[in-house]
Amino acid sequence: MSTATSTISVERVKQSRISSVDFKKLEFGHHLADHMFVADYDKGVWNDARIVPFGDITVSPAVLSLHYGQSVFEGMKAFRTASGEINIFRPQKHLARLNQSLDRMCMPPVPEELFMTALESLVDVDADWVPNAEDGTLYIRPLVFATEARLGVKVSDQYRLIIMTSPVGPYQAKPYRLKVENRFVRTAEGGTGSAKCAGNYGGAFYPTQIARQEGFDQILWTDHKEHKYIDGVGMMNVMFVLGGKLVTPKLSSAILEGVTRDSILTLARDMNIMPVEERRISIDEVKDGFLKGTLTEAFGTGTAAVVAPIAVIHIDGEDYEIPEAGPTSLQLQVKEKLNNMRLGLEPDPYGWNHIVKKS
């Protein structure tokens, strides 16, 4: 895959919107930074790479993405380190997943050089939008969607890549009360669950809305055949401390391979906190763990939250409660380690930090 444009043109805003943002009260995704990166794909080439003021775009109502769902995205973060540098966390891993998602949706890959240059240039142009460590992080949302305007059902020949960013505050949701889903599925094996494509999210709204009406915060997704084995929680991967081991569902075509999942499993193994297992986990096993007192932690993992504690799992008509995670819990140990590494307070032996050079 090639790019016709080796340089990125930059059109800066006339007036920044940053003074209207209260960095002490950042709601997730509410404020978008001043600029966005845009590139267009046609005839096998990504063209016209540009940074422009963030704003509305015009597309034909016939663009194929709106009708047939060729739309794929990513979610990653940039951190302000203790020494004031900007650190984009594991961008190559996010690009690898973006390209896997694109492949699953018959969409063209984004070349590494284009992606990395785009990210670095955009974050550099909007450097003032990266919050200080105590206030939060800069969420980065790359999006690729089909732009060919044509009504017939077909794979698009044209696409647009947009990267937008948004300053977000620290994650503060209360521990989840979960409903085990035994009617709907997020995706099925062989479906698109391992791709970060738009349809997976739209399809999850309805079951999630029902769960909320029933008094739950999120869904514990189970397999599509028997609703017996656990896939994930809400829009996150899920982990349990069960019988003194960290266990998480092994990856399948129904599960998105979380970058946070990978970071946490790597840290838990290398910190030697406890054995780690990636395998099938049944609802019965979780229930048994509650009854025997061997299930000591349960949490979701994802870029937005790092770890999101689970307080209650509702199984077969009963609420099973999980004790609050203390400072020696696995989830808080790995969370602290990960945060310290990203803020440059501890060494990063994995090369996960990508420090943005100032222009």
Residues that bind ligand PLP (CB under 6 A): 75, 232, 235-237, 256, 258-261, 301-303
Complex with ligand PLP: residue 258 or 309, whichever CB lies closer: 258
Complex with ligand PLP: residue 156 or 218, whichever CB lies closer: 218
Q: In angstroms, what is the minimal distance from the CB of 93 to ligand PLP?
A: 8
C-beta separation of 254 from 188 below 8 A? yes
Q: In angstroms, what is the minimal distance from the CB of 259 to ligand PLP?
A: 4
Provide the pairing of β-strand 137-146 with 159-168.
Answer: antiparallel
In angstroms, what is the C-alpha Rg of the chain? 21
Q: In angstroms, what is the minimal distance from the CB of 76 to ligand PLP?
A: 8
CB atoms within 10 A of CB 200: 20
Burial class (CB in 10 A: 0-12, 13-18, 19+), 151: exposed
DSSP assignments along 21-51, one per residue: --TTSPPTTT---SEEEEEEEETTEEEEEEE
Q: In angstroms, what is the minimal distance from the CB of 3 to ligand PLP?
A: 25
C-beta separation of 41 from 158 below 8 A? yes
Complex with ligand PLP: residue 75 or 111, whichever CB lies closer: 75
Q: In angstroms, what is the minimal distance from the CB of 140 to ligand PLP?
A: 11
Complex with ligand PLP: residue 218 or 301, whichever CB lies closer: 301
- Would you give the DSSP letter of residue 66? H
Q: How far is 74 from 332, CA to CA, in rounded Å?
A: 25
Cα distances from 318 to residues 209, 217, 278, 321, in angstroms, run 20, 16, 27, 10
Complex with ligand PLP: residue 169 or 232, whichever CB lies closer: 232
Complex with ligand PLP: residue 8 or 306, whichever CB lies closer: 306
- Per the listing, tokens 């140990």 go with 333
Q: In angstroms, what is the minimal distance from the CB of 187 to ligand PLP?
A: 9
Q: What are the DSSP E strand ranges found in 210-282?
A: 218-222, 230-233, 237-242, 245-249, 276-279
Q: In angstroms, what is the minimal distance from the CB of 339 to ligand PLP?
A: 14
Complex with ligand PLP: residue 49 or 107, whichever CB lies closer: 107
C-beta separation of 268 from 276 below 8 A? yes
